[in-house]
Each structure stands twice: as structure tokens, then as C-alpha cells.
Amino acid sequence: MIKYIRNFSIIAHIDHGKSTLSDRLIQTCGGLNEREMTSQVLDSMELERERGITIKSQNVTLNYKSKSGQPYQLNLIDTPGHVDFSYEVSRSLAACEGALLIVDVTQGVEAQTVANYRIAKEMNLKIIVALNKIDLSTADPNRASQEIKNIIGIDVNNAIQCSAKTGYGIPELLECLIHDIPHPQGDPCAPLQALIIDSWFNQYLGVVSLICIKNGKLYKGDVLKSMNTGQKYTVDQIGIFTPKQVKREILDCGEVGWLVCANKNIIKTPVGDTFTLSTHPAKKACHGFKKLQPYVYAGLFPIGSKNQKIFRDALYKLSLNDSSLFYEPERSEFLGLGFRCGFLGLLHLDIIQERLRREYSLDLLVTAPMVVYEILTIDNRIIYVDSPSKLLSLTKIKEIREPVVLCNILLPKKYLGEIISLCIKKRGTQIDIIYHSTQVTLTYELPMSEIILNFFDQIKSASHGYASFEYKFSRFQRSNIVCIEILINKKRIDALTVITHQEQSIYHGRLLVNKLQKLIPRQQFDIVIQATIGKRIISRGIVKQLRKNVLAKCHGGDITRKKKLLYNQKEGKKRMKQIGNVNLPHTVFLAVFDVNNNKK
């Protein structure tokens, strides 16, 4: 019965114990036995376990018998905590009626804790606070409770103290979940409405969709219709995760489960779409969630022409699993055929690159990551560009606008000076500052290009690891943006072009030229490296030629003989420079990435 179903997500800042708590809930409810239990059960990717982070939201259905003896069905969705994957949190919460907000009592409230709380609050979810890691010697539940009350504004009198590691407080937490979180409000007799929460590619089943039955019931063999595209599909298989993949004949109203149709193209059934029955369709779709636009773009080029098809297929399969991944073909004069890919942040880029390497054995060259710029032309047209080549190809530009984000930074008071100095260096504008008992909340407007690369590392370094931040896109703002082009022996290398702010262009150009001087191997002729903005050269360097000592065989004799040998060598070097090709190793292109990380 629907009144005994509870759908909830676990939300928290990164490394506050979400996945470990999920493990303990699974173990307590008997989802897996002792032999089958592994650390971080729901972190199914090897990459997730290695890095100790959750990348993809995961679902599990648990059967729990309350203290009164009443059986309940708990649908738990574990969510990521890193700011790059906050879109996964909002998608997961769309299927829930409640959220379990975890706070690490050794670290207290952090920025993503506040951000995730706001997402859950906007969706009108019932929020239960759990104080985790209570078993540690450095635990300070009183301080954590005070921070929750002061910074977030939640009454913590009923907060559950627990330890995901030892299992302390887990039974009380489960009882609190079933009593405080409301059951789904759907109607089992109404026309079917199934919200698509996620999709991924399985090499045996094809496209698998994670769905939540908002209204009605879903049976194996039903003919479904997408309310977004109108396309029809036949249900091949349905089931739930326990966390094992278990087949079922029916998914009832309020349940969360998986669905396999005869559909290989998930683009036609996007995440956030609603399935209904083709014979008895619902009148309107579920309230979904908008598709997130990528913030960071970079060119990915496979090493070796034989890998082109493998690379294209790999990106397609990854995009099924990750709807925020954008890609389109791109051709570089120097690197050949590749793809221009869009990501939510630098960690997202790093994860995709690592998955391509591990799962598909692809070695890739990655060009300098950049944000999307808004271009206003003289005839008042708006154009969005995500690559330097697109910006250089435009004429009649009236102004260039860069994306600005609203950034909330939570930090201890004693590091306030260092963090403000860092924000000023990043061209930030202070919007607000709020003092709490021991912490401060700083609100800044910052250019997105300044924070997507290494701002996280710099803010951690300036605060000795204690500060945290979260951000969201605010607007586009007029800015003095320039393209730095790299010429090697007067030949433009398109893959090394970068976009930066005018204030940083000289520094950035010099840094790039110095890096290239060290990385390009010496050849039989001088290699001239120039960094230019338009026709103006802002930095120049030379990789000196290798020279053979042509006078070694001359032991005395007429000076004219020596001059002739030196003249012949000089003329030969000139001819070689005119027809010779400069061979650039792969490390040269990685240098651009490092230069971006070394920005002021």
C-alpha cells in the first residue's frame, strides 16, 4: 500500500558520510548479507570508491519492519556532495517526499550542506537532521547543532545522533524516517505518470531508465508514450534495486524502480520526461526539472586516427548515463578530428576523461578549458561561443560578456582576510558578509572563468582546509576579454589558443611562452614562439637550434676556409627553417592546461 512507502534522499557536503550511512541502512534492513557487503555499496563505479566521492545518484529499495511490526518499503537515493554534481541532487529529490540532511560533527556545517538544504526546502520536502561521526574523539555535536541553528535555521532539538561506521543510532534514525516523512501522494487508480530520474547504457539490456511512479501503475508489456516527444515504447523489463537488480511484473504507485524498453536512443526520452500509457494517457506531464547547461568546454582529441569511431561511441554511451555531458564534432588544423565537450566543472571533466581512459582504453589530448561567452554584435544579435576558434571567426563585435556566478563561502573568522584577498585577486565583488558565532558567510560575485579551474584548491590552501564554497550562475557581464594566439615559426597553432581577461593577458602570455620554451625539443633550426593578441606580440621566446661544430676538422689553416664552412652552415639552416616542420610533443598541449591552473 502507498501509505507504507517512504521515498527519501541523503544529502550532505562532500565527505560527511553519505555513502557509509547508506551502507549501514542497507545492512540494517537486510538488503545484503555480511558476505555481500562491501564498503560504499552504492558507489558502483571503481572511480567513486577510489576517490571516495559519489558521482552518480544511486537508488535502493529496502524492506523495513518497524518496532510496531508494520512492514515499510524505503526507497533510498544516495546523492553526490561535490558542487560539480549538484544537478544530481535536484534530480534525485524530484522523486522524494523527504531528505536526510547529514552533518559531520567533526567539521560542522559547510557550504554544500547549506546549498543542498536550500534545494530540498524549495521542493517542500520534510527534512530530518542527522549528526554523523558521533563516535570520533574530535566529535563536537553541540557546536555542530549550534551552527545548524545559526547558519541554516533548523530546529535541531530532534536531530538524531548517529555513527554510520559503528551503526550507533541507526535504528532510531529508521524509526524517525517512517514517522516524519510523508508517504507519496499519488493516486494508484489515475492514468500512469512515470518520471524519468536517470538513464544509463547497459551492454546487455541497452538503455535502462530509473523512474518514479507518481500516479497509476506500470506493468511489464505496457505500451508507453513519452509526453515530451510522443514516441511510443513497449516495456520489456521492469524491477527494483535491492541493491541487486531484481525483476518485477509491476511497479506500484509511489515506487522507484528501473525500466527497459526497446529504445537505444535516450536523446528521444530525456531525463525529466514523463512516461504515460499510450492507451490511457495522462492529461499533463509531471513537474520535471530543466536540463542543466554545461559551464566548462574543452576540446578532446584521441591520440591515433584509429580511435575515432571508438571515441564517438564512447561519448554516446557516457551521455546516456550523464545527460549533462554535451559533445559535438570539432576539427583542429593541428590535432585533427575530435569533439568539443561541455562539462559542469573541472572535476566533471576529469571524471569523464578518466572514465574514457579506463572503460574504453582511450588516450586523449585535452585543450584549455573555457567558459561560454555571450557576444553582442553591432546589429544587436546575441551569439554564444564555447571555443576560441568561434570567437576569432566573429566580426563586428560590439561587446563580449563573461558569465558571473554568485558564490557563497563559509569559513572560520580567522581566515577572513586571506579569503577576501583571494576574491579580490579573482576580480570579485563583495555582495554580503554575515557573522556567525565562530564562522563567517561571505557572498561574492565572481567571474566563472576565475573559479572553475583551481579556486577550490586555492580557497582550501588559504584557509588551511577549513573553508568551503558553493556557487550558481547569476548573469552575463560586459568584460574586456581577449584571445591569446600562439605562433610557432609564424604558424598559428589553433589548439594552443586561449581566452583570458585583458588584465591577465601579459602574464598569461609570458607564462605560456616560457612553458613552451621548456617543452618543445630543440631542432636543427631556431624555433620562434610568439604569443599575440590580434597583430600585437605580447611575448616572444626562442628555442635555440642544435649546432654541429663544423670547424672541428680545421686545425689551423686559412681563415677563409673557416668562414666558408660557417657560411654554408648558416645558409643550410635558413633553407631548413623554411621547409622544416616543428614536431610538438603531447606534453605541449597539456602545458596550456597547467597555465590556466597557474593564473593569478
The annotated binding site for GTP is made up of: 15-20, 132-135
Maximum C-alpha span of the chain: 111
- 3-class SS of residue 496: helix
Are the C-beta atoms of 484 and 368 separated by less than 8 Å?
A: no
- 3-class SS of residue 75: strand
Residue type, 411: L
From the list 516, 499, 505, 491, the residue with the least C-alpha distance to 589 is: 516
SS3 per residue for 252-318 = CCCCEEEEEECCCCHHHCCCCCEEEECCCCCCCCCCCCCCCCCCEEEEEEECCHHHHHHHHHHHHHH
Task: Please identify which residue in the block is written with the cell numbers 633550426.
Answer: 525
Q: Tell me how far the alpha carbon of residue 430 is from its chain's centroid.
A: 26
Cis upstream peptide for 281 (omega within 30°) = no
Tell me the C-alpha distance between 335 and 363, whole Å.
Answer: 13
From the list 127, 165, 133, 132, the residue with the least C-alpha distance to 27 is: 165
Are the C-beta atoms of 197 and 256 separated by less than 8 Å?
A: yes
* H helices, E strands: number in the chain: 15, 31
Dihedral, CA of residue 44, residue 47, residue 52 and residue 58, to nearest 10: -30
On the CB side of 307, CA atoms within 13 Å amount to 19
25: left (phi over 0), alpha (psi -120 to 50) or beta: alpha
The per-residue DSSP string of 184-198 comes to P---TTSPPEEEEEE
Q: Are strands 126-132 and 98-104 parallel, antiparallel or unpaired?
A: parallel
Dihedral, CA of residue 495, residue 499, residue 500 and residue 501, to nearest 10: 160
Tell me the C-alpha distance between 527 and 583, whole Å.
Answer: 11
DSSP state of 422: H
How many beta carbons lie within 10 A of that of residue 2, not counting itself?
16
Are the C-beta atoms of 478 and 572 separated by less than 8 Å?
A: no
Backbone Cα Rg of the chain: 29
Are the C-beta atoms of 272 and 289 separated by less than 8 Å?
A: yes
| Residue set of the binding site | 15-20, 132-135
How many beta carbons lie within 10 A of that of residue 66, not counting itself?
14
- 3-class SS of residue 494: helix
